[in-house]
Amino acid sequence: MSSKHRIWFHLLALVTVSLWGVTFVSTKVLVQNSLTPIAIFLYRSIIAWVCLVLIAPKKLFAQNLKDELWMVALGFLGGSLYFAAENHALECTLVSNVSLIVCIAPLVTAFLSMIFFKEKPGWKLFAGAVIALVGVALVVFNGQIVFQLSPWGDFLTAVAAVSWACYCIVLKHLGDRYDAAFITRKVFFYGSLTLIPFICFEPWTVHFDVFLRFPVWGNLLFLSVIASMLCFLMWNRAQRELGPIIATNYIYIVPLVGLLTSVVLLGEPVNTAMLIGCALILSGVFLGQRR
């Protein structure tokens, strides 16, 4: 792949994680309008799946049963398990804990790639990861050390991080044989399907009049069409070209974008420590991309 062509996929990954950073605000708005986190993920998955069926309806099943089961694993790991674990973690521990712990996903991805694909990430990636994690800590703690141990909540967050790392590894396994649109459609279909057991433990009732409110349907459409369908398409395509280690390294950008979004849209304060954290995140991500 030419250097110019490769830059395009770096940009694709950067745009994707930047849009994911905005989702925290959209999800917060929907929760404030009486939608549960599990319900939000189900709605956005179904809408994203319907859109993908309309634009990419031809291929229904994978080439064989084994690959179809791998598609189920993608939907479970990158969909229902990841979101269920992260959302329930937010109910048990501090948001800052979740924001920091979930950023171990790039390191777990690098470790799994070394085991399954015999890849050698190199010292620059691990040095960049440490720098970026320090930056994430400064951003999510607002310059104050408020890390409060909550074993169950922190464990669930770690499960979410490992789940996303495993998603990236399985995606690499299938990415060379199936196009991004087909894989993404399968992710949302099986993500919705494997969410059913979680729903059984957390039933909810929604008054349909809430969907008439602009903040509800507007943010739900953003989460479904942009943050789900479009972003997963871009992520799956970018990872196919860059590999799971390089692509996942961009995850560190998510807390940075979440901070900027909260400052601009919610008027939340920013301090010097947070600005230093932003600089460290960008520096760490840049260093991690140097092979």
- Taking the CA atoms of the chain, what radius of gyration do you get in angstroms? 18
Give the C-alpha separation, 232 to 225, whole Å: 10
pTM value is 0.84
- Judge whether residue 143 has pLDDT over 60: no
- Judge whether residue 243 has pLDDT over 70: yes
Q: Summarize pLDDT for 102-138 with one digit per residue, the tens.
A: 888 888 888 888 888 888 777 777 888 788 888 777 7
Q: Summarize pLDDT for 3-39 with one digit per residue, the tens.
A: 665 789 999 999 998 888 888 778 778 878 888 878 8
Q: Can you give the pLDDT at residue 96?
A: 61
How confident is the prediction for the chain on average, in pLDDT? Answer: 83
Higher pLDDT, 41 or 203: 41
- Judge whether residue 187 has pLDDT over 80: yes
User: Six-digit token pair at 193?
Assistant: 């399907």
User: Six-digit token pair at 87?
Assistant: 């959302």
Q: Can you give the pLDDT at residue 4?
A: 60
Confidence band of 273 (pLDDT split at 50, 70, 90): confident
- Judge whether residue 249 has pLDDT over 60: yes
Higher pLDDT, 242 or 3: 242
Calculate ∠ Cα 263-37-216, nearest 5°.
65
Considering only CA atoms, which of 223, 253, 250 is closest in space to residue 239?
250
> What amino acid occupies position 212?
L
Q: Can you give the pLDDT at residue 245?
A: 86
Specify whether the CB–CB gap between 53 and 278 falls below 8 A. no
Can you tell me the mean pLDDT for 226-231?
A: 93
Q: Which of 133-142, 181-190, 204-213 has the highest mean pLDDT?
A: 181-190
Domain count, the chain: 1
Structural domain of residue 53, as residue ranges? Answer: 3-289
Q: Can you give the pLDDT at residue 13?
A: 92
